[in-house]
């Protein structure tokens, strides 16, 4: 169970709070989304996610633990068959809380808590495939002997010899460009002097 929150309980006592959370979780699993206060939604989130984790295990002991908390067998069956199958590739984050403003009567902050049943995003699937490919390529890279190392060294020396003449040509081009710029500035200065003399 997560760390208990400080402050007043939901309801009158600890037994009442346990029953409230169990009923909220049963309603959440039955309807896939419920509207409640923000405080109750925040307290329900870790409770419901723990029950989903038990459902993902799927064994008899887990089913009996959940049945000890939620007495409705139909809801428990739906949790262990439909919901657990929908979130089997998801590592946590089975619920989502969305704030929807305040209640009209007593101005209590309200929220919608819902199950996240959509499939895992494509980006996460690509990351999983990349890690699997990297794990598969690691043994192949270890088996590749020194031949690849020799080939890469030869390629590096060829690239270095090709870059050397190009590096020699580059300073000559820069010097020619600097001389042309100096000539243009000298011509401009001479023209300015002639213009002053003509006045």
Phi/psi of residue 33, nearest 5 degrees: -160, 140
Token pair in block for residue 110: 């309200």
Q: What mean pLDDT is predicted for residues 162-171?
A: 53
Residue 1 forms part of a structural domain: no
Kindly tell me if the per-residue pLDDT of 110 is higher than 50: yes
Domain that holds residue 157: 145-198
- Quote the pLDDT of residue 8: 74
Confidence class for position 63, pLDDT limits 50, 70, 90: very high
- Quote the pLDDT of residue 147: 47
- CATH at 24: 3.90.1030.10
- Quote the pLDDT of residue 160: 57
> Degrees (nearest 5) of the Cα angle 40, 41, 46?
105
Q: Give 83's DSSP letter.
A: I
| Same domain for 116 and 23 | yes
| Same domain for 94 and 18 | yes
- Are 94 and 118 in contact by the 8 Å Cβ rule? The answer is no
Helix, strand and coil in the chain, % to nearest 5: 70, 10, 20
- Are 70 and 51 in contact by the 8 Å Cβ rule? The answer is yes
- Quote the pLDDT of residue 173: 64
| Same domain for 154 and 77 | no
Of the ranges 14-23, 137-146, 174-183, which one carries the lowest mean pLDDT score? Answer: 137-146
For the chain, give the mean pLDDT. Answer: 81
């Amino acid at each position: 169970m997560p760390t208990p929150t400080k402050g007043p309980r939901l309801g009158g006592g600890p037994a009442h709070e346990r029953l409230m959370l169990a009923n909220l979780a049963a309603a959440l699993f039955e309807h896939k989304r419920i509207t409640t206060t923000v405080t109750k939604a925040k307290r329900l989130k870790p409770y419901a996610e723990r029950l989903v984790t038990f459902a993902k295990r799927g064994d008899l002991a887990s089913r009996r633990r959940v049945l000890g908390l939620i007495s409705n067998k139909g809801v428990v069956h739906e949790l262990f068959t439909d919901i657990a199958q929908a979130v089997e590739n998801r590592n946590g984050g089975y619920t989502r809380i969305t704030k929807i403003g305040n209640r009209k009567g007593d101005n209590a902050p309200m929220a919608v808590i819902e199950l996240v049943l959509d499939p895992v995003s494509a980006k996460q699937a690509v990351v999983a495939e990349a890690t699997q490919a990297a794990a598969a390529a690691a043994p192949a890279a270890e088996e590749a002997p020194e031949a690849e190392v020799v080939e890469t060294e030869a390629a590096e020396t060829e690239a270095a010899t090709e870059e050397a003449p190009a590096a020699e040509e580059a300073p000559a081009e820069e010097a020619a460009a600097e001389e042309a710029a100096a000539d243009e500035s000298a011509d401009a200065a001479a023209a300015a002097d002639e213009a002053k003399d003509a006045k």
